[in-house]
Structure 1
Amino acid sequence: MNANLPFSLFLLSVASSWGQESVRPSLVDVPYGPHKAQVVDVYLPKSEKPTPVMIQIHGGGWRAGSKKQVPSFLKQAVGQGWLAVVSVEYRFTDVAVHPAQTNDCLRAIQFVRSRAKEWKIDPSRLGVTGGSAGGHLSMFVATHPDLADPDSDDPVARQSSRAQCSVPFAGPSDWSLLSSIRHDHPAYRQLIGHEPGTPFAKMKEERMRSVSPLTYVSADDPPMMIVHGDADVIVPFAHAQSMFKGLKGAGVEAELLRVEGGRHNVSGAGRPEFFGPAIPFIKKHLKVE
């Protein structure tokens, strides 16, 4: 974003260009693993040189949703020619519980890097984003240690799984909060193998720690912009505050965009006041000129 352009005008400029023709995926259902759910859709820009890429992870409580859910601001960036987008499908909790979803997303990142030359993307400029469950997963993969194994016989496994930046929208970060704030949604429990309605006192602390991105925060994590509504009752704002505090405490570059009065619709990143600040953040950290 131009430092001399007031943010309100920036939002208007984004909104005014919204009537573009819909951007469609260049490649559909490209497998990155053996399970039928382990596929990606690939949105490639028209560019003569390699572009950065954002990994988009959809929401749906880890048990629903679709990789077809790609925010308009990402499609617009593809249409403008400065960004590629890869939208990830992953196994739901009716097939496998945590950490299957995280493992799928990490593998997808490695797979994308293995196709960098073919898709004309720059593997050193890769970010990750998503909303709700996808926000959780985008935080998780950003804080997860690198899975690259240079000695592997698998060319995908030799690739890095690390991102250069992360932009989670309304994602849960800290399962310990289930005891202190309202969390009625059954998906929180199903993700870690508990039946819906299981009392907090009977939930295993080890499982809750293992599924919380906050657990894995370390000083070498990539920059993160957390976007969250302070009136969200599905994923309360305390999750954003907890993650932001953890990142800053570890010395990680972090920004927290508090959407006043924003509910869980923030997770869809569908309005300029939700996604507007993310665009310059992505451009900065993926080195878009």
Structure 2
Amino acid sequence: MISISPDITALYKEIDGSKITADIYVPPQETGSLPCLIIIHGGAWMVGASSMINKDQIKDCLDRKWIVVSPNHRLCPQVDVLEGPMTDIRDFLAWIYDGNLDKELKNAGLEVSVNKDKVMSFGTSSGGHLALSLGYDVPRKVVAIYDQYSPASFSDQSWRKKQEDRTPPGVKIDLDLAQKVFDIKPIPTTAGVGLEGQALPPDFSDPRQAFTFSTMSRGGVVKAIYPKGETEGYQKVDPVLNVTSDFPPTMIVHGTADVSVPIHLSHALFKKLQDAGVESEMVEVEGAEHTFSMKMVKGDATWERQRLGFDFLEKIIARKS
């Protein structure tokens, strides 16, 4: 994977002491009004950071002459997924539409601006869920969405299935230590560990990592990130429950060997999109596991399959010219 650094890191939101930033990448030697792609990192809404996204994918998008922005968000479980990650990412979208990204670009001496009719979203795993959340319950939606193996259908029983392989054999996580994650203030917006290709074992002396991996091991992710869902339901947070005929055009790419987020969840989302008449496509990557985005090698079969998602976005925005 190539090494690439953001041109700008901007503060887009501050709340209760949490300073939330976004990395901004600009295609070199470009001027004028350009499309903008929001890329959102994965990490079960509890770990990860904007720096942990695939840099080859960023380069691919820059070569398409797109501005690329990757926002951080507050991490669960000190705040639930609706009030934390979803609200932050939606506020980031509004921040762009309100012209604040243009101001950052201008202040940096860059001669580019955002084409507000060509703002798109893309994310992997939990980032895919957040990318989908920009297609409903927002004043102005993104124009198209690319979802890579995102969690959806929160009522599905696969969410309650234990993932005991998340902890190495013989390792016992200190659950009292894990609960100390709730004592950390302000709420973190980055974590120095991710799930996208993260090599085990993690550092279980860190309360956040101990909490995240122990929660996944016992099948408790949905309860941890949205506890009120058990009594109130998931209408506000589940994209599957919010697909309507005016949902943005959406591409789904999912690996057939994904055991963390089974592919049938994406099948269910795709069916909802198709039934609602939403322009949508789904690509299955044969033999690919969860987090393949960080494990693939540029130019291999998986790389070429997932690039179809960016081609889909390009097709949609081409109509806006």
Residues 224-259 of structure 1 show CA distances to partners (whole Å, capped at 9, x for unaligned) of: 000111211110101100000001111101111111
Which one of 143, 147, 152 corresponds to residue 164 of structure 1?
143
Structure with greater contact order relative to length (CA < 8 Å, sep ≥ 6): 2
Which one of 251, 270, 275 corresponds to residue 244 of structure 1?
270
Question: How has the CA–CA distance of structure 1 residues 106 and 179 changed in structure 2, closer, same or farther, with 3 Å as cutoff?
Answer: same
Partner of 1:96: 79
SS, match of residue 49 in structure 2? coil
Which one of 84, 92, 106 corresponds to residue 90 of structure 2?
106
2:307 is the counterpart of 1:276? yes
Partner of 2:153: 174
CA-CA distance at 1:265 after TM superposition? 2.3
2:7 and 2:54 mapped to 1: Cα distance?
16
Partner of 1:6: none
Partner of 2:169: none
2:234 and 2:50 mapped to 1: Cα distance?
26
Conserved in 2, the CA contact under 8 Å of 1:58 and 1:70?
yes
Partner of 2:178: none
Question: How has the CA–CA distance of structure 1 residues 82 and 223 changed in structure 2, closer, same or farther, with 3 Å as cutoff?
Answer: same
Question: How has the CA–CA distance of structure 1 residues 243 and 251 changed in structure 2, closer, same or farther, with 3 Å as cutoff?
Answer: same
Residues 112-145 of structure 1 show CA distances to partners (whole Å, capped at 9, x for unaligned) of: 2223543312111011011111011111222x13
2:287 and 2:71 mapped to 1: Cα distance?
30
2:188 is the counterpart of 1:206? no
Partner of 1:30: 11
Q: Greater CA deviation, 76-85 or 180-189?
A: 180-189
Letter in 2 for 1:107: D
Question: How has the CA–CA distance of structure 1 residues 168 and 217 changed in structure 2, closer, same or farther, with 3 Å as cutoff?
Answer: same
Partner of 1:146: 138
- Runs of at least 4 residues off by over 4 Å: none
Unmatched segments (≥5 aa) in structure 1: 1-17, 148-159, 195-202
Letter in 1 for 2:92: A
Conserved in 1, the CA contact under 8 Å of 2:54 and 2:293?
no
CA-CA distance at 1:26 after TM superposition? 1.1
2:294 and 2:19 mapped to 1: Cα distance?
21
User: Sequence identity of aligned pairs in percent?
Assistant: 24
Conserved in 2, the CA contact under 8 Å of 1:168 and 1:226?
yes
Partner of 2:127: 134
SS, match of residue 55 in structure 1? strand
Question: How has the CA–CA distance of structure 1 residues 78 and 211 changed in structure 2, closer, same or farther, with 3 Å as cutoff?
Answer: closer
**TM-score of the superposed pair, with normalisation by structure 2:** 0.70
1:23 and 1:90 mapped to 2: Cα distance?
21
2:159 and 2:38 mapped to 1: Cα distance?
32
Letter in 2 for 1:28: T
CA RMSD of aligned residues (A): 2.4
